[in-house]
A and B are shown apart, each in its own frame.
Chain A
């Protein structure tokens, strides 16, 4: 891009790549910087969620019977379906990254659509789960009214549902943001912005989506399954 590189070797075609920002020497360096930044961001995400996981473990340590009793009110099947859906979406996302590595924009767009579809199914299942909880008054803190709906849970169920809604809610927000980013990537791919040598935005979207999947891999057994 800049004339400072006039003395670069002749086989170098990076200078002519319109996607190379002027402050990077090569596409490889630009890609590595973007990916390192993404990994650092994912690190902060893991640390943020770890606080909620710790809250769960503390609650479980102090009130094991209450957590077991309250978790019986979560639908194993809804959680299980969502796990399969989210794992599938991670698979299609990984295939999308592979497609663009091979330069196949059409397949990338198909994979993005499939991933978005899975994400939407996840949100719909979540919607039904949440509305059931709302109906039964199984809500956090002072909004907890399940005892008025005929559910007797000993101990501190309002704290359990606080942890439940914070964990799944924050995760759900991440899914929603992921869907928006994938839609954006779908549009950008349609404009021909990505190719076999320039796909780090797709790869970083994938990394983000896989992290959302990773968090669910731990949320699902802890909240829905563990006895």
Chain B
């Protein structure tokens, strides 16, 4: 007979279906655990854990997600290739998060080093939010500074609005205070 392939692998007995059917007790235990963990996150949210609360909430969420994926979505008993697809996605999400957060967190140091700056901190102090960034390309910097000047400095520098100089470094030092 013709050879049958599943996910690129030849299958020995293609006509036998090996679907795992979980007993009711498994589903009952999983939903019970999910309710308990939900109650736990809810209760913990009233306690004052400070910065640890994000970690606790995320750990509990990961446990809940694992239960749903393993038992409700049958990944524990399923073709391992589906687990590979799922975990592969999670890894790429991790890369996406990791590199973006690393970039944003190290941006201040880089701005200092390369004499560029983004005004979000200054804006935040003035309660105005992120409005404009100035970089170290002279033409772009001149244009942005001119725009700020044209708006009377209101959008740009808070208290430092009137002191715009062509020198971005001086501007940056003012912003640091």
Interface residues of A (CB under 8 A from B): 4-5, 7-9, 11-12, 14, 25-29, 31-32, 35-36, 39-40, 42-43, 46-47, 50-51, 53-54, 57-58, 61-63, 76, 80, 83-84, 87-88, 90-91, 93-95, 98, 101-102, 154-156, 159, 197, 203, 206-207, 210-211, 213-214, 217-218, 220-222, 224-227
Contact = CB atoms under 8 A, between A and B. Distances in A.
A225 B2 contact: no
B121 to A, nearest CB: 9
A46 B93 contact: yes
Nearest to B127: A154
Given A28-B14, A29-B14, A51-B96, 13 more contacts: A4-B2, A5-B1, A9-B15, A29-B4, A35-B79, A39-B85, A90-B68, A91-B27, A197-B17, A207-B73, A218-B61, A226-B57, A227-B50
Contacts of A218: 61, 65
A84 B96 contact: no
A144 to B, nearest CB: 12
Interface string B30-53: 110011001001101100111001
B110 to A, nearest CB: 16
Which of under 10, 10 to 19, 20 to 34, or 35 or more describes the interface residues of B? 35 or more
Contacts of A220: 41
B7 interface: yes
Nearest to B89: A43
Contacts of A155: 124, 127, 129
B106 interface: no
Contact of A35 (B38, B61, B82): B82
Contacts of A25: 2, 4, 14
20 contacts: A9-B1, A26-B4, A28-B4, A28-B16, A35-B79, A36-B7, A47-B96, A54-B97, A76-B42, A90-B31, A94-B72, A95-B24, A98-B21, A98-B27, A214-B68, A221-B45, A221-B60, A224-B45, A227-B50, A227-B53
The secondary-structure label for the interface of chain B is helix
